[in-house]
Structure 1
Amino acid sequence: MSRPTGRVLTLLELLQSGGTRTMTELADRLGVDPRTVRRYVDHLIDLDVPVEAVRGRYGGYRLAPGYRLPPLMLSDDEALAVSLGLAVARRSGPAVTTATASETAAAKIRRVLPERLARRLDAVLESLAFTAPPGDFAAPDAAVLLAVADAVRHRRPLSIRYTDRRGRRSERTLHPYGLVAHSGRWYVTGADPGIGEDRTFRLDGITDARILPGSFEAPDGADPARRVLTGFATAVYRHEVTLRVHGTIEEIRARLPAHIATVQEQEQEQEQEQEQEQEPATDADPAAARWFRVELRAERLDWLPGVLAALDRPFVIERPDELRDLVTALADRLAAGARRT
């Protein structure tokens, strides 16, 4: 695409966004002088695009009211970005819609690309490698996703049919606060007025979502992403783990993020008692390094000793005893390996 042609398309895009654009604004955005802007406007008029000149102090150019926009047009960079985005989404994780929809959309874009650009795109896709296997998560139903998003935006209650991970089916009413994408899955979080508690549901477990009459008020400071992460950290699992860790919140969160563990700063008196019991050596700012209480739930414990070793901060295991045994066993193996010659 030649540079002048690209600027004419950029001018059309600016006018399509609505309102009147001044000559100064258009010249600045296009990087040309006012005379060239007028020439580009003439090009659009020659293509039967009804561009109107608006006179006066705040005059400029605009599209005629009621003008129906032409079909979607993409620049080379935009076409490549969309095509690569679809390819990466299909390979590295679940798409918002089905894989078939992503493939057909990519095929349509590929068919209308100029041959030169299509060859460049093929070269990129053929040379692209991934460090992780493709995601095997189920994609949410497009109709469900759109219904939930509409309910979130307009604060409307939802009726959903849900199947949990154990295969149990139920019908619920939900006041949805927001949509959250996390680790390849989509979630909706909100209040269940039937039980008076906040709940989080995976979208791929919702088989039907219908907007109900009425509206609701979301609580002040509602943070859907934080609610989802907190839900993961406090979910019911086989083991309940409680630790005391000395360090900064950043050091702890680097190994135990919010969706794994809850971290709470301990009271000053408790902290002083623990520092008397164990004075940790730390390279961190003494004012920032403190004792924190860390709680998490897990189906298995075998991954935790390695995490605590990588944390490289003083810690105390309060429960369970099984974790103490695993940490001791890891320490013995490391010590034995260090003694070998």
Structure 2
Amino acid sequence: MTRPIARVLAVLEILQRGGTWTIAELARRLDVDERTVRRYIAHLLDLDIPVRSVRGRYGGYRLSPGYRMPPLMLTDEEALAVLLGLVAGRRAGLLSTSAAAAESAVAKVRRVLPEALGRRLDALLEIADFTAPASAARTAEAEVLLTVAEAARDRRPVDLGYLAGHGGASERVVHPYGIVTHSGRWYLTGFDSASEQVRTFRVDRISSVGLRAGTFAVPEGFDPAQRVLTSIAEAPHRYEVSVRIQATPEQIRAVFPPSIATLEELDPGPSWVRARIRAQRLEWLPPLLAALDRPFVIEGPDALRELVRALAGRLAEHAGA
């Protein structure tokens, strides 16, 4: 029969708070009987954890003076994965534990990390934005991600080596305004010296990064997450789609999030909104337009009209079968 390891570790956690704990106190905290507590203590002793039995009226169990759990040995990538997993799980509502338990777990992992690594992770957790509750980003190169996070928090310019999607390499100076995770990727957004505009960069395409001297100011009211979503929605693609939809922006956003479509409210009237979408392929759009279940007018391209007609024909055929 396997031992309930989680409960055994819970006993260790209680004993590490210091003092002597009676069997009755431990049983009450763990919601088990006293015989089970003794089994947990025996298992800790099997693991060579120095638990002392204190006899007498105020007896019980305590850890030997000076005992501490060994330091947690994690690489930068491992520490980053653990902390981001806890943070993302908490924000996504994926953890069955309470918010306090998640915060406590983050604090405990943070406390046993080397000081220098802990400061860098603090910078990332402080500066990072999530575009959606369930974002679970891949860990980019830890050194790059931690460096740009520090720079964003401390308002330090960085020298950036970047490899664009088409394969072109470039060197530039960037003022990092924020770090955002969206749809499984990390993005850096900030002022770019090469284009003299605010740009968005995928962190996994950053080939090198170095801190520069000096500081900068972030424009008042700048929202890194919103900027990343807008940049993704406005990125050049094969098709420029324009559709007028008779619906509220909230109804449209339920199907077309900001990373997919930009919305333009038209003149007052029957609540028409123009949605502009950039896409490499069009086949995925007709089912979403159908899911809106609202009147719409396709302004372009013509290829989308044909795809919508084809979908409508298939639906009518299925309905009549």
User: TM-score band (shorter)?
Assistant: 0.5 to 0.7
Alpha carbons of structure 1 residues 70 and 338: separation in structure 2 relative to 1, 3 Å? closer
CA distance in 2, matches of 1:326, 1:237: 18
Kindly state the Cα deviation for residue 248 of structure 1 after the two structures are TM-superposed.
Answer: 2.7
CA contact 1:162–1:169 (8 Å) conserved in 2: yes
Kindly state the Cα deviation for residue 197 of structure 1 after the two structures are TM-superposed.
Answer: 0.6
Equivalent in the alignment of 2:260: 260
CA contact 2:234–2:278 (8 Å) conserved in 1: yes
Kindly state the Cα deviation for residue 212 of structure 1 after the two structures are TM-superposed.
Answer: 0.5
Kindly state the Cα deviation for residue 6 of structure 1 after the two structures are TM-superposed.
Answer: 3.2
Equivalent in the alignment of 1:293: 274
> Over residues 184-236 of structure 1, what are the superposed CA-to-partner deviations in whole Å (9 max), with x where a residue is unaligned?
11111111134221111111111110001111000111111111111111111
CA contact 2:172–2:193 (8 Å) conserved in 1: no
CA contact 1:178–1:224 (8 Å) conserved in 2: yes
SS of the residue 1:213 aligns to? coil
CA contact 1:233–1:296 (8 Å) conserved in 2: yes
Alpha carbons of structure 1 residues 5 and 323: separation in structure 2 relative to 1, 3 Å? closer
Kindly state the Cα deviation for residue 140 of structure 1 after the two structures are TM-superposed.
Answer: 2.2
Is 2:302 the counterpart of 1:316? no
Equivalent in the alignment of 2:306: 325
SS of the residue 2:236 aligns to? coil
Equivalent in the alignment of 2:238: 238
Kindly state the Cα deviation for residue 145 of structure 1 after the two structures are TM-superposed.
Answer: 1.2
TM-score with structure 1 setting the length: 0.58
Equivalent in the alignment of 2:181: 181
CA distance in 1, matches of 2:11, 2:315: 66
1:1-341 equivalences under 5 Å are 1=8, 5-10=12-17, 47-48=65-66, 71-72=70-71, 139-268=139-268, 272=269, 275=270, 290-340=271-321
> How much is the aligned-residue C-alpha RMSD, in angstroms?
3.3
Kindly state the Cα deviation for residue 147 of structure 1 after the two structures are TM-superposed.
Answer: 1.1
> Over residues 283-316 of structure 1, what are the superposed CA-to-partner deviations in whole Å (9 max), with x where a residue is unaligned?
xxxxxxx321111111111111111011111111
Kindly state the Cα deviation for residue 264 of structure 1 after the two structures are TM-superposed.
Answer: 2.3
SS of the residue 2:16 aligns to? helix
CA contact 2:189–2:199 (8 Å) conserved in 1: yes
Alpha carbons of structure 1 residues 71 and 221: separation in structure 2 relative to 1, 3 Å? farther
Equivalent in the alignment of 1:100: none
CA contact 2:18–2:62 (8 Å) conserved in 1: no
% identical equivalent positions = 46
Kindly state the Cα deviation for residue 333 of structure 1 after the two structures are TM-superposed.
Answer: 1.9
CA distance in 2, matches of 1:299, 1:217: 36
Kindly state the Cα deviation for residue 322 of structure 1 after the two structures are TM-superposed.
Answer: 1.6
Letter in 2 for 1:48: G
Kindly state the Cα deviation for residue 48 of structure 1 after the two structures are TM-superposed.
Answer: 3.4
CA contact 1:242–1:319 (8 Å) conserved in 2: yes
SS of the residue 1:255 aligns to? coil
CA distance in 1, matches of 2:219, 2:260: 25
How many residues are treated as equivalent by the alignment?
220
Give runs of ≥4 in structure 1 deviating > 4 Å: 2-5
